[in-house]
Structure 1
């Protein structure tokens, strides 16, 4: 009889049948003549039970009990429903092959410090909670593609190496590029997406970006992933509608597909159930008023940090847009409000539950002369931006876009405090290993 090799993630389809699993021993315990093995294969976890009886002698069971944690195994057995078991099913093991025994595993049941676990991130990924968290990340990433593709967007990859700054010169990672001169790790793919929007109408990139920002907060990484859509003929209000529809879709897909992962993470999903458009919209000036009423020392013209964003979001049960920031605290490419040029047609989207900004977006400057002036005011090298100015020389149009931080979004949806756990291998100012 051919015994099918199946994944734990599909085990419910094989109830009452004998199957083969190929995976690793995640945990174990024993009681007398029975051994309980928690097996993982990357798609999920399942409990396997081995008894002294028809399939195993006492000596064989004793050998099974001595198998080290994280050893690789091939096991066969009958799938049966068991409500008390993790995942609702267990495997009655009738055959076990030890592929390779593990050395003593460095991550034990005892409490470990975050630094200890981060030094062993390559192993910590195997744990239930980290596994669940990165499965949610996978759903977030795939949902982004699904939504934007259904809306007619084209995926357009942006370069990692760039000739100039996009988000200011103080946070650039610099390197020597052969004999040409200096190059930089990309802070954003946005400028290239603006070029793409004039070719395809609707484009997006989803790629790593880099900021040499000496920040140790729970919301910052030096290397992170960002989604950046750009749309020709969109104004700043069209831009916000796109953002709220996208975020709502992502959250609802996670609720639909990640129920087990939320349970593992003990994430209360009631707040996520409320994430439906439209999202509330307040101006920057209104946000300053909210902060002052709460006793914060906020002054008009200040930028918002994590504490201020949290205080503002406390009055809302879903993400809130803050629009019309002062021009002097925002990037050079943002379109001024024609009715008040000291403000820009932008928005920051602040997640609820204290997770802060997850999106920054704006209408872009489409007028050539104004963009030239802004480059000069920001002391940016014009020669590095000539190609960017060409977009305004040849068929310029109003256009808008935004950047969504993947790790911040995943941390919020999953309900984890620090974004270093929302990326497989985090890079911070004090961490580049493993």
Structure 2
């Protein structure tokens, strides 16, 4: 047997070390937590393209319903558990968590072109000018409606109709005997679920979450008027079980032709106009959100974005994935793969400037108009101390909004009156704000 010399032994050690390093590199796995929306499902399907371009990285997906996702990622990041390397968060979490040092800043260097991101979207995901999450898609809210049903009823829908007019149209097209309901709206409890819609609606009635001294305002006439109108509207002209419906349930109803109108996230426009998904794709019209006494805050502003927890042990791989999934090149990839009407929208100016997108997306103009009209810094008729359209960007809001959502969903389900719901929600909010030392 040949004896190992000092040189051959050193060579063997170096080879073993190199192989070990290569193996370790090849086994880098990042875990991405995301919401079960259509664009995220598509991102998972396209992930092999990322893995092919980055052979040292594998992506593991954890896909959750919206409310469960919020709970899981909030708990994980607050506890610094490190379960996720990339998490899907929004405009509420990004600046608060960025300020607390819970998130890594997004790497916007090189050819990422952060200046191409729509200013309101970029600003909403930043703290002191630093972006702490990169937008995968952005959205506002708007009216989506069945042109055929509205026309047959002798009605019209236009930008910024009054809520009273929307109610009249809902009544005119409502025909439960044929499985058609006048209007579909979110009813499922959650600060980012029914309260996203409800807050934008309440804003238009002149409501606000807090006065200038941070006192909760949920028992005011404006809130009572808005919630009473909402409950009455859905009870008379909405589908059965509306208190359990979120975005995905309403989307399914609309695509089946069961909703005369649906007021929800602009991102839905690409789904309801897709003949592969929607039975009424060729009959969908769009309009800017309804108002009552003011346009301020009448439609929300949101972005589902990808953030990297400070506790991740795979920061470099996570940054590469976030840059890929939120890049102009990714949008091009989706456009080439699935068609330009299917790309994630609401994030980059270049998307709206692309002739292929303009031709394919009949909703593009209405969507961009809604996004640009939302102003998180001036979203209430009366002065308010918070930033945010459909939420107040303070750490306490998640608990406050969740409780309010449960109460209002209860009122919609008929288990309590509107007055009881708002009284309970206001009492809970007051307790939270006192404990947090706001007054």
Query: Normalised by the size of structure 1, how large is the TM-score?
Result: 0.21
- Pick the structure with greater CA Rg: 1
Q: Which has the higher strand share?
A: 1
Q: RCO higher in 1 or 2 (8 Å CA, sep ≥ 6)?
A: 2
Q: Which has the higher helix share?
A: 2
